[in-house]
Amino acid sequence: MVHLTKKASMAASVGLIATTVLTSAVQAAETIKVGILHSLSGTMAISETTLKDVMLMLIEEQNKKGGVLGKQLEPVVVDPASDWPLFAEKARELLAVHKVSAVFGNWTSVSRKSVLPVFEELNGMLFYPVQYEGEESQRNVFYTGAAPNQQAIPAVDYLIENEEVERWVLAGTDYVYPRTTNKILEAYLKSKGVADEDMMINYTPFGHSDWQTIVADIKTFGSSGKKTAVVSTINGDANVPFYKELGNQGISAQDIPVVAFSVGEEELAGLDASPLVGHLAAWNYFQSVETEANEEFIEAWQEFTGDDNRVTNDPMEAHYIGFNMWVKAVEKAGTTDVDSVIDSIVGVSVPNLSGGYSAMMPNHHITKPVLIGEIQEDGQFDIVDETDGLVAGDAWSDYLPESAKLIADWRAPMACGNFNVETKSCGGVVSN
């Protein structure tokens, strides 16, 4: 009798376990998982943690609206810790283990390059929210940050036309984004008649902190009598000591203006901005944009974080645009199936925070306005210039001979990331 009772007890336990597993599986099926792939530690955490937070806010807001396709969204957050190979491992975890429907993440181009093969192999969707060097168009990636023609080129044009700059310091962190962007800018400046001796190019490692000698060299380079500017592709927490050293050596925006592509409100929040007043940044969004949509976004962000002083920035807006595009494409496709969503997302248009609409182009880049902002003492930007309308992101630069003949169009029948208009052939997906 006792023996039978144990059997019955074991059967009941097995049944309970099976029911729990089944219930968990059903619950999992009732949510749509969304991956968040941003560094929460390491040198890039200064920039990327905020992007994780804004994704959590956007998902929470969408769930309050009823989710997507009648299901709640479930965020899955991982920390690749500013470790470029780890990005690939964490991307694989999100796609293969957690089965997320889309991933929003990465900051540096080296981290993006690390994950590209994973997204191609596992057929995932990555929404990449940060300005980058171009020279790429991948079927599984949606580039919601700026291409060079949406940031770097307009910034240089502004300095030429408004500051009459003749000498150029191209200062960047030593990885693919600064090197390729500066290659494009060097070719562009030469097309404008700038001589080699009027360009100084310098690279430093991630997290570089000793700027005294480099800033002194910049100061010397700018003392020739020709108006000089610094075009900065310095990334991450290295910006803090760089700007401090500019102030230490008395380099003002009137003497040698700096235009930055990776410094926004979040980075300035940790600095005494008074010595930086007048220096510039080129983005597609600033917190100081005066639109009703932006006011609502800022209010929602500060309420979500519980901090009335928490700032917004450009990559946050890129996630706002990309996330809403993904939601709209899923609803249009009627499914989260990746191939169906990829097919449906081209042409999708959603509001941006600058008062217009951004559209997903066939090359998987979007349309964006270009804004030039001047740093103010409170760490905000006074918008001093902007394009008349939206600029479509160009995957392949017109200023590099090997790229000028390439176009990208992921619609059928072309479905190609690097179609050569001279040979009329497609080389497939290219990652430089």
156-206 confidence digits (pLDDT tens): 999 999 999 999 999 999 999 999 999 999 999 999 999 999 999 999 999
- Write out pLDDT tens, residues 66-103: 999 999 999 999 999 999 999 999 999 999 999 999 99
Rg (CA), the chain: 24
- Write out pLDDT tens, residues 208-257: 999 999 999 999 999 999 999 999 999 888 888 998 899 899 999 999 99
Q: Is a pLDDT exceeding 50 seen at residue 4?
A: no
User: Token pair for residue 127?
Assistant: 């929404």
Cα angle, residue 63 at apex, residues 139 and 96 outer, rounded to 5°: 40
* Confidence band of 29 (pLDDT split at 50, 70, 90): low
The answer to whether 287 and 381 are in contact (CB under 8 A) is: yes
* Confidence band of 378 (pLDDT split at 50, 70, 90): very high
Q: What is the pTM of this model?
A: 0.88
pLDDT at 276: 86
* Domains present along the chain, CATH in parentheses: 150-279 (3.40.50.2300)
pLDDT at 206: 92
Residue 262 phi, psi dihedral angles, 5° rounding? -130, 15
Residue 304 and residue 235: Cα distance in Å, rounded? 27
Q: What percent of the chain has pLDDT over 90?
A: 85
Half-sphere exposure of 194 (CA within 13 A, CB side): 24
Q: Is a pLDDT exceeding 60 seen at residue 10?
A: no
Q: What percent of the chain has pLDDT over 70?
A: 92
Which residue would you say has higher pLDDT here, 7 or 399? 399
Nearest to 144 by CA among 289, 353, 305, 426: 353
Q: Is a pLDDT exceeding 60 seen at residue 422?
A: yes
**Continuous segment of H or E residues that includes residue 279:** none
pLDDT at 207: 92
